[in-house]
Amino acid sequence: MNFLIQDAMAQTAGGAQQGGLMGFLPLIILLVAFYFFVIRPQMKRQREHQTLVQGLQKGDEVVTNGGLLGRVSELADVYLKVEVAKGVEVKIQRAAVSIVLPKGTLKEI
């Protein structure tokens, strides 16, 4: 029956010590790549959106995250009112604004 099971050979203790820093190198490279390809671009987009939201003024034509187009009619700290049609205003959060359109884009309001 001994021919079905092979003898196990133990590794020497020196084999486990060889990959100290080299064992962590792929993980470190992966974390650095993740930072440059995911985290930095996301932080840049977040800063750009924050400056866009802080720079809103009355009369700006905007598009919300939900796709609603309108003109800013009233500003507050957290909320703003967007006129989507004559006499129709919607109160939204400032953070919901995704794009500020060039002046004159919305002609019908």
Supply the pTM of this predicted model. 0.70
Instruction: Give the C-alpha separation, 83 to 109, whole Å.
Output: 8
Looking at the chain, how many residues does it have? 109
Residue-level pLDDT at 8: 64
Q: What is the pLDDT of residues 48-62, one digit of tens each?
A: 999 999 999 999 999
Sheet holding 69-75, edge to edge: 88-93, 79-85, 69-75, 61-64, 97-101
DSSP 10: P
Confidence grade of residue 13 (pLDDT, cut at 50, 70, 90): low
Q: What is the pLDDT of residues 60-79, one digit of tens each?
A: 999 999 999 999 999 999 99
Residue-level pLDDT at 19: 62
CA–chain centroid gap for 10, Å, is: 49
